[in-house]
Amino acid sequence: MRALIQRVAEASVTVDARIVGQIGPGLLILVCAMPGDDDALAKTLALKVSKLRIFHDAAGKMNLSLQQTGGSALVVSQFTLAADTSRGNRPGFSGAAPPDAANALYLRFAQALRDLDIPVETGRFGADMKVALINDGPVTIWLDTQAP
């Protein structure tokens, strides 16, 4: 699985002019399931995200995790994280998991965060979503379970 994580002051997802997910301070997590990913990887990624020390402590150092700060997560499915741009100018997305498997893993990832006592809001899988955020820092981190 791949995830692009942004520390945010606030974030929301709108579908058809209605907010479907909204958080205050925490993480906006754009997540993409890849072929061969499974529930164990979704849980592993959720645990990594929950413990990532990217929030400021009292001394102003990035030393606290989402779990420690009590922040929330807004999880948004984004198959375009699987983009292959190695040929031409039009990205290919065949590296993303098929929709049924991707949706199941997206939901499993969100549930794994909830199981870690993190408040979670989500977007809507497969919808045309408008994502709004105020990036805090900015802090943006790429995670890939297949990375060396």
Q: What is the CATH number of the domain that holds 108?
A: 3.50.80.10
Spatial distance between the Cα atoms of 53 and 69, rounded to a whole number of angstroms: 10
In a domain, 148, yes or no: no
Catalytic residue, chosen from 6, 14, 55, 79, is 79
Segments forming the whole domain that contains residue 86: 2-142
Quick check: is 67 catalytic? no
Spatial distance between the Cα atoms of 61 and 101, rounded to a whole number of angstroms: 39
In a domain, 147, yes or no: no
Q: What is the pTM of this model?
A: 0.95
Confidence of residue 17 (pLDDT cuts 50, 70, 90): very high
Of the listed ranges 13-22, 85-94, 122-131, the least confidently predicted one is 85-94
Quick check: is 79 catalytic? yes
- Using one digit for the tens of pLDDT, what is the confidence trace for 45-81? 999 999 999 999 999 999 999 999 999 999 999 999 9
Name the one residue in this structure whose structure tokens are 């990205």: 91
Quick check: is 125 catalytic? no
Confidence of residue 142 (pLDDT cuts 50, 70, 90): very high
